[in-house]
Amino acid sequence: MIRIKVLAYTPNPERMIALAARQTRLKKDVSMNDIDDQRTAMLIRKLLSLKHLSPFEHASFTFLISGISRVCTHQLVRHRLASYSQQSQRMVKIDKESFIIPPSIRENKKALEVFQKVVDEAVKGYDELISLGIPLEDARYVIPQASETKIVVTMNARELLHFFGLRLCKKAQWEIRKVAKLMLDEVKEIAPNIFEKAGPRCWDYGYCPEGDDECFKEMIKLKPP
């Protein structure tokens, strides 16, 4: 089961963003007491509507993501404006319970049998290699990408908005799409004005960037007012 935990974030992230934006237009130095919550919310929404997103880089969020596969993290780390610290297969031994099964396989009895057989053979070979004195870092070469992992991820608010735009798309792979949805749920609790309308790119574009008009018609109905 995918688990998302926010480990840390910039204190009062929305006000930090608002003050960064205000400083671009003020001669005096800004301070955290310059504006109240209402003014902060208004400014955040205005920045988003204008696509003036550089101030959003001043607020960051750090997540612990667990219960996901290496398939998922291979996609996740392609978002390069972020920091990552992943559980090492050189240091942590893999066991036969540490594999993520896609729903399409889990719901198909025959496919599940094939999947489990392959995983069991891979783990058996992995354990045999270790017993022969092969180090974990080399024995892991026989392990499927379905192996479970944990990763600590830090992204700023601007990159999170970009990440959600790509990974909440209906065409995104199921696992990273679920990760994105759970991450969005968490940050909405912390910074609702920043992320209240975060969603797939088609919500901003007004069309499907992948040319799927039927998908767009379905997804646009879900856009917040």
List the structure tokens of 75.
Answer: 């996609």
Reported confidence tier of residue 33, pLDDT bands at 50, 70, 90: confident
Report the predicted TM-score, pTM, of the whole model to 2 decimal places: 0.95
Q: How do residues 194-215 score in pLDDT, each as one tens digit?
A: 999 999 999 999 999 999 999 9
pLDDT grade for 50, boundaries at 50, 70 and 90: very high
Chain centroid offset of residue 189 CA: 16
In the chain, domain spans:
3-84+148-220, 105-142
Quick one: pLDDT at residue 34?
Answer: 87
C-alpha distance from residue 181 to each of 98, 134, 137, 160, 163 (Å): 23, 40, 33, 11, 11
Residue 39 annotated to the active site: no
- Treating both helix axes as pointing N-terminal to C-terminal, what angle do 174-190 and 157-167 enclose, rounded to 10 degrees? 140
Residue with tokens 């006000």: 15
Of the residues 140, 167, 177, 201, which is catalytic? 167
Pairwise CA distance, residues 62 & 66, whole Å: 13
Give the model's pLDDT for residue 149: 98
| Interval 9-23: pLDDT, tens | 999 999 999 999 999
pLDDT at 151: 98
pLDDT number for residue 55: 97
Which listed CATH number (3.30.1360.170, 3.40.30.10, 3.40.190.10, 3.40.1260.10) goes with 3-84+148-220? 3.30.1360.170
